[in-house]
């Protein structure tokens, strides 16, 4: 029950952000179907949100099984089936259409589809806001994942990683100063499109298990909080060689646990090595 409660508010924000991002960015090839108004309404209200939920559930399964699928050499098939296919169903289809030309499952690797795995490191600035009490610090993380490049220039990443969201000094009035250490285990999907100058515009949606350790500087009193929440972001990336990709990315994290409610914004530089 706590898990489902934690999912509701961030999920709505993530759906809204993803819809705005992908409406003009990730488009399918022309479909000859002529869906009715009723089909469009049903698609918009029920089908697309369901595909989105399936993609995020698929991300959880992908992340949980990644060590085994990498050893079994089928991590790409797992990511394609559980995450990329429902993401295309949620964002790439024309409204009310049942088919997707250029569907990832219909493309052959090397003939319209390229799949590679990657390791990524990210570092940057984190800004913490808990009901108006703010702090900032250095943040960084490491990830592993699978990258899909499709012939229609759409891009998909599925990734699993650990993130330190910073050790931040928070001032709560003149008498109270806290040090907050925040850690995050993350599973995310990124999706976007190759644009001008070989840049890739990427949106990100994910879920994280987080914990925050608060220590009051005056007397050393400590408080611990933890929970599950969603995060979302937007970034720009570019391949500088066939194997190395670099980029910049903004992410908004939500962390809520009873009376503890905070937002963390990060701005990162990241680098990925493809293999």
Q: On the CB side of 38, how many CA atoms lie within 13 Å of its CA?
A: 0
Nearest to 203 by CA among 12, 9, 16, 51: 16
The CATH code of the domain that includes 28 is 2.40.160.20
* CA distances for 65 relative to 68, 156, 205, angstroms: 5, 19, 19
Question: In this structure, what token pair is assigned to residue 32?
Answer: 């000859």
Domain span including residue 66: 2-274
**CA 11 – CA 3 distance, rounded (Å):** 12
Helices (H), the chain: 2-23, 37-42, 48-71, 75-79, 85-91
Q: Is 140 helix (H, G, I), strand (E, B) or coil?
A: strand
116 with 103: CB under 8 angstroms? no
Q: Residue 48: helix, strand or coil by DSSP?
A: helix
- The residues pairing with 183 across neighbouring beta strands, listed in sequence order, are 164, 211
d(CA 229, CA 223): 19
Structure confidence by residue, pLDDT tens digits, 154-176:
899 999 999 998 877 776 555 56
Backbone angles phi, psi at 99, to 5 degrees: -115, 155
* pLDDT per residue rounded down to tens, the chain (275 residues): 333 344 444 444 443 444 434 433 434 344 567 888 999 999 999 999 999 889 889 988 988 888 888 889 898 899 999 999 998 888 888 888 888 777 898 888 888 999 999 999 999 999 988 777 788 889 999 999 999 999 888 899 999 999 998 877 776 555 567 788 899 999 999 999 998 878 999 999 999 999 989 887 777 788 899 999 999 999 999 999 999 999 999 999 989 887 778 899 999 999 999 99
pTM summary value: 0.78
Domain count, the chain: 1
């Amino acid at each position: 029950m706590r898990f489902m409660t934690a999912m509701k508010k961030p999920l709505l924000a993530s759906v809204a952000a993803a819809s705005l991002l992908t409406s003009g960015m990730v488009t399918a090839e022309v479909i000859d179907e002529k869906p009715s108004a009723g089909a469009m309404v049903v698609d918009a209200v029920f089908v697309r949100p369901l595909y989105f939920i399936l993609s995020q559930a698929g991300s959880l399964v992908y992340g949980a099984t990644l060590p085994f699928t990498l050893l079994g050499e089928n991590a790409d098939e797992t990511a394609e089936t559980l995450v990329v296919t429902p993401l295309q169903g949620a964002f790439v289809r024309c409204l009310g259409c049942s088919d997707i030309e250029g569907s990832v499952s219909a493309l052959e690797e090397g003939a319209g589809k390229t799949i590679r795995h990657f390791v990524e490191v990210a570092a940057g600035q984190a800004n913490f806001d808990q009901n108006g009490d703010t702090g900032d610090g250095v943040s960084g993380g490491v990830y592993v994942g699978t990258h899909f490049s499709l012939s229609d220039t759409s891009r998909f990443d599925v990734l699993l990683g650990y993130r330190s969201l910073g050790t931040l000094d928070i001032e709560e009035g003149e008498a109270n100063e806290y040090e907050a250490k925040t850690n995050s285990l993350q599973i995310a999907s990124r999706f976007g499109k190759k644009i001008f100058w070989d840049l890739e515009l990427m949106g990100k949606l994910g879920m994280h298990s987080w914990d925050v350790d608060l220590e009051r500087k005056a007397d050393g009193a400590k408080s611990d909080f933890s929970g599950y929440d969603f995060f979302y972001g937007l970034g720009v990336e570019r391949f500088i060689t066939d194997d190395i990709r670099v980029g910049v990315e903004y992410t908004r994290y939500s962390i809520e646990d009873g009376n503890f409610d905070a937002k963390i914004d990060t701005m990162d530089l990241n680098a990925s090595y493809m293999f």
